[in-house]
Amino acid sequence: MDKDLILKRLTIVEGHLKGVKKMVEQESYCMDVIHQIHAIQSSLNRISTMILNDHLNTCVISAVRGESPEDRERVLKEISDLFETISKP
């Protein structure tokens, strides 16, 4: 995982979130606030995808190739649970 890149992106998101908070405090135009919130959500989704890809290419592959059936079942359940969680409305 490119930890430095992820931390950099999270710092950028943090700055944007502070900006949205300021926009709300200043009663900025609602649509502008919504656009900024959507941009933050998109950035967080990209960060989440980066972390998930790293997890799949490290932890999951190691568990699937390993000899422990419990580890294989655990990582597959984690992935299944994740998709169930993010699929909820």
Domains with residue ranges and CATH for the chain: 3-87 (1.20.58.1000)
CB 23 within 8 A of CB 35: no
Confidence of residue 24 (pLDDT cuts 50, 70, 90): very high
Amino acid at 2: D
CB 13 within 8 A of CB 36: no
Q: What is the mean pLDDT of residues 2-23?
A: 97
The structure's pTM equals 0.85
pLDDT digits (tens, 9 = 90+) for 29-58: 999 999 999 999 999 999 999 999 999 999
Distance between CA 77 and CA 71 in Å, rounded?
A: 10
